[in-house]
Amino acid sequence: MDNMICKTRDTRHLAVFRRIQFLTILTASVCLLVDAPARADEIALRSGDWTVRGDETIRDTHIRLDGSLILPNGGTLTLENCTLEITGDYSRQHSVEWRGGTLVTKNCEVGGFVNKDGTAIHTVFHLFDGLWEATDTTVSYSYGISFHWETGKGVLRGKRLKAGPRPDAIILSGEADVELVDSDFPIGLGVYCNEGGETKLDLLPGDSITATYDRDNLLPGVNWRLKMANTRVERWFLFLRRIGGWQPPAEVTLDASKDMIVSLFVHNLKGATTLTNDLAEPLSIGNLTLKRSGDDPAGISMYAMYFSGDETDATITGRTHICEWMQGAGTVRVQGMEKQQDLTFGCTTLELSGESKLIADRVHFGRPMTWQPENSIGEANVKDNASLQANDISVNKIRFRAEDKATIKINGVEKLGQMLTSEEGGEIEIDEAQGEVEVEKTSTKRSRPKVWIITDMSDKRLRGNERGGSVNDPDDISAMAGYLLMANEFDTLGIVVASTHRRQHRTSPDQAQWADEFFGDAYRADVAALNETIGDYPETISFQQSCIKETAEKFKPNRTYTSLDDYDTIAKLLATAAMLPDDEPLNVLCWGSLTEPAILVNHCLTTGKDDVLKRVRFIAHWTNSPLHQGSKEHPENVANCREDAEACRYMKQVAAAGKITYHECGAIGQHGIVSGGPKGRDYFEQFRTSRLGEIFVDGKFVYNGVDHSDSATYWALLGTYGVGLKDIRPDGMNTAKIEAANEKKFRGQSQRIHDELLRRSTVVRTAALQSK
């Protein structure tokens, strides 16, 4: 979320100030406090992605950002005498992204963060397309300043650029253009092996050098340029990229090197590879041969390994240290030699994703015991459908994390230091019968997203002009049943029903009462079984009837909504958002008309409650689409926008101005999740194992499937089923390219989405049978 910087000395003072803002008599004074320059001992907190549009200059400020810094085309951020810390729950969660923009840092410290338990949360600088002018700048807790590996012009101009703690390196690749003057920073040379060739490298660290590196003195596959003047390279990294057995031979000879890290990027690797630090025998991997020039040992201190390709089927052995391991596909077996300490995984980064599988036998995970003690904890992150199987291992200062549907299985473990596990959707199994010592296990699930839903849903028995003769489209009924099956993934703070302009609702019954009986009774009937098997479901879910249901009021753009006395559900939404901390935004899911969100935004901007808006994130279903119903010329010509066109137009204008965060999903729920989902009564009849499952099927069953298109908002919020909020612009814009890409992603994950809902529905019947 693009947030105003909120200055505070500590979080308790911040909370007090935000409660004071509700007292009208102090509104003006609070606004002055928010706009005042930060004191030297203050920390400016920002939550959510910070997208720079136009020119922004910040001076003398310590910024702590729980989100990514995004620099699009036309955006320039200048930081002078500042500290920028990028935080998060884990390394690489957030980054600095150049998308055509410019970052200027003068006398600054930038990078990641060390959290309370001592874990270093590293960020990464993706200088893919844009300019960074770094003068008297120090970089810390980073996984490097990297450039796109193929296209995009990333330009770095560094004067007295310095390395702080754990800076990684400037990693040359793609079409990077880097000039360093009077600097001191580790350098990673990206040598592309796909076109073959030979090169000899002299990479001794320590002394200040003046030199230029490009394709003329490396390999013909190199398209980047590095020019250094009086620059000291404390450590060299060698990135050997695009290694593949089908390509022409490439040979790299180390003429002189010391304490160097070698990274190997291999595609569809097969067979056995032995890693050694001295290269007494040349390393042969794919089409690459890496060797030393004489009898002296090569000065390699450790390796980093990056695997791609579904056909990967390889075995890695040797005596060395592997600092980073990233595997997105295939199967790799890692085998130690005589003892576990022969082959060690430092887990600065160990990430398994996709369908990848790593089998590790007789190795060590975490900081090697021969190294100097350090408080930071390594991370082994396994996500998606990946798996890690570790046998007869030792560990020291390591956290194993299983996300999504990932699995980690450890058979036999020697605990030489701290070992933590975090199950965040995935499963971790430790066979203690084979383990020599007890493992300290903690459950550190990420905090659940806070949600407020505004829906036009109403009792489908009320007669009207929608499909099946109901007043409102019943697709929201199916979407709500799906949400309640997933309710343990969210912190539900409010659900507003019948936020609609249909005249029939002037005299219709209380729709909150209907929702409580219809959904609430079903949820209460199923929740015990869901908690018994899955867990973390709230005991009950409550509903509110919209303040505009009986009046059918629409938003008036020329009006200033200074009072919310006549809008109780909007006032409750405001009060809820105001009580939240900066790092826990309230996600408002918009499943119909935008009248209530527009009145909220207008009220906050009119009464000086801008800071409350910074804690709200709107996620809207189909209020814009250049592909479906709407056109590229008129993307707003869609049903949910036409419900209250002025409200829709106002929200998009305010979002475009950067005053609110507004993620427009477009029609990706309808044409991704629904159209791409399973078809046929046989599949969906399986949902009739729970009360919520029955509602899901019967809400809106059309075209041989269930229409729950509004659910795209919460699946995108979860971010683990193909589309995340990072894939949807935060400024209300929805281009045809973005919508088509996200539609395709949801189509690819639709079966998985439906199967997950079915699994949860089936849990209820299974629990009932077991109790008999």
The confidence band for 41, taking pLDDT boundaries of 50, 70 and 90, is: low
Q: What is the mean pLDDT of residues 673-701?
A: 95
Kindly list the distances between the CA atom of residue 419 and the CA atoms of 321, 404, 439, 544, in Å, as whole numbers in the listed order: 19, 21, 6, 46
pLDDT digits (tens, 9 = 90+) for 362-373: 999 998 876 766
Q: What is the mean pLDDT of residues 380-391?
A: 95
The confidence band for 722, taking pLDDT boundaries of 50, 70 and 90, is: very high
Kindly list the distances between the CA atom of residue 443 and the CA atoms of 80, 401, 415, 417, in Å, as whole numbers in the listed order: 40, 10, 19, 18
Residue 23 has pLDDT above 60, yes or no: no
What's the confidence (pLDDT) of residue 22? 36
Looking at residue 30, what DSSP letter applies? H
The DSSP bridge partners found for residue 283 are: 290
What's the confidence (pLDDT) of residue 163? 95
The confidence band for 148, taking pLDDT boundaries of 50, 70 and 90, is: confident
Residue 713 has pLDDT above 50, yes or no: yes
Q: d(Cα 34, Cα 44) in Å, to the nearest integer? A: 10
Residue 440 has pLDDT above 60, yes or no: no
Closest CA to 536 of 583, 589, 576, 487: 487
* pTM for this predicted structure: 0.49
Residue 338 has pLDDT above 70, yes or no: no
What's the confidence (pLDDT) of residue 375? 65
Kindly list the distances between the CA atom of residue 204 and the CA atoms of 187, 300, 362, 646, in Å, as whole numbers in the listed order: 12, 11, 33, 65
Paired sense of beta strands 387-396 and 357-361, if any: parallel
Cβ 638 vs Cβ 594: under 8 Å: no
697: which 2 tokens? 């099927």
pLDDT digits (tens, 9 = 90+) for 530-556: 998 888 899 999 999 999 999 999 999
Closest CA to 599 of 636, 539, 551: 551
What's the confidence (pLDDT) of residue 342? 79
The confidence band for 258, taking pLDDT boundaries of 50, 70 and 90, is: confident
Residue 303 has pLDDT above 60, yes or no: yes
Residue 30 has pLDDT above 70, yes or no: no
The confidence band for 772, taking pLDDT boundaries of 50, 70 and 90, is: very low
Q: What is the mean pLDDT of residues 315-335?
A: 93
Domains in the chain with CATH codes: 450-767 (3.90.245.10)
Residue-averaged pLDDT of the chain:
88
Looking at residue 463, what DSSP letter applies? B
510: which 2 tokens? 């209380």
Of 31 and 707, more confident: 707
The confidence band for 434, taking pLDDT boundaries of 50, 70 and 90, is: very low
Residue 378 has pLDDT above 70, yes or no: yes
Q: What is the mean pLDDT of residues 34-38?
A: 35
Kindly list the distances between the CA atom of residue 601 and the CA atoms of 188, 605, 659, in Å, as whole numbers in the listed order: 47, 6, 9
The confidence band for 443, taking pLDDT boundaries of 50, 70 and 90, is: very low
Residue 13 has pLDDT above 70, yes or no: no
What's the confidence (pLDDT) of residue 151? 66
Q: What is the mean pLDDT of residues 157-184?
A: 94
Residue 27 has pLDDT above 50, yes or no: no
What's the confidence (pLDDT) of residue 453? 98
Residue 563 has pLDDT above 60, yes or no: yes
Closest CA to 161 of 170, 174, 152: 170
What's the confidence (pLDDT) of residue 766? 64
